[in-house]
Structure 1
């Protein structure tokens, strides 16, 4: 998949919702780690998280955070991509609201912001995956106007 350049993203985010902003610097990423760990408990450490984000950045991976005052309460990881199936699209890698802040519409605000980013970048769709057993997330996505469009198949490979 091809990474699409997006120089205009900060202004799209900044103007749309003052509680949202890109998480770019090392301090931002360190603040994001505890929230991301709720979604991705397999992350071995903060250093592991920082290294993975740095490896994914050349592939277009970006993070946006939602702030309640000074506290980071939710975040989304995403990339702009293009393939022969969808054309240009925004893929949501990660979407998580910290446990004490769930029910505060932070996830919906992040999805609306990513929708704006995708439209501003000329994407045909916004795409994300969720587990088949994750009924709670599926209900949330349906409420937010996302619908099932594919069934993903995968094969775990021995990485030795």
Structure 2
């Protein structure tokens, strides 16, 4: 049975194999350091479970932005390949929407890489609309 829950901080490093699906060029040590820092900045991670087996994740941030107010930002949604195309992503987003509303959020925003057209289709199907471009400058 599929269920969702916020992972405890002490178990946050259990998501590293999922992060490696997105980008395997970042070392485990660097990911551990970054996750620890992210936790200190309000990051939470939802675990997607099939019974007790972790099959996917989505990070979430709750922030306030002047132009919209309090919002939730799903981040790095990853579902094990063998569980994809089974409506789990949609169920996850329903769970996140309920969690956001319970926590006073008035909106949800996501960032999505330009080349990830499959994800674009998913987000659009979930009711998201493109409202901006995300720019980055590295140092």
With the length of structure 1 as denominator, give the TM-score of the two structures: 0.78
Residue 132 of structure 1 is matched in structure 2 by: 114
Inter-CA distance 40–112: structure 2 relative to 1 (3 Å threshold): farther
Q: Secondary structure at the match of 1:82?
A: strand
Contact persistence 1:21–1:65 (CA under 8 A): yes
Q: Secondary structure of 1:76's partner?
A: strand
Match of 1:97 in 2: 79
Q: How far does residue 22 in structure 1 lie from its aligned partner after superposition?
A: 1.2
The reply to whether residue 36 of structure 1 matches residue 19 of structure 2 is yes
Aligned-residue CA RMSD in angstroms? Answer: 1.8
Q: Distance in 1 between matches of 2:99 and 2:76?
A: 16
The Cα of 1:25 is off from its aligned counterpart by 4.2
Equivalent residue pairs, number: 139
- Structure 1, unpaired ranges of 5+: 1-16
Does the CA-based 8 Å contact 2:2-2:51 persist in structure 1?
no
Q: Structure 1 stretches (4+) deviating beyond 6 angstroms?
A: none
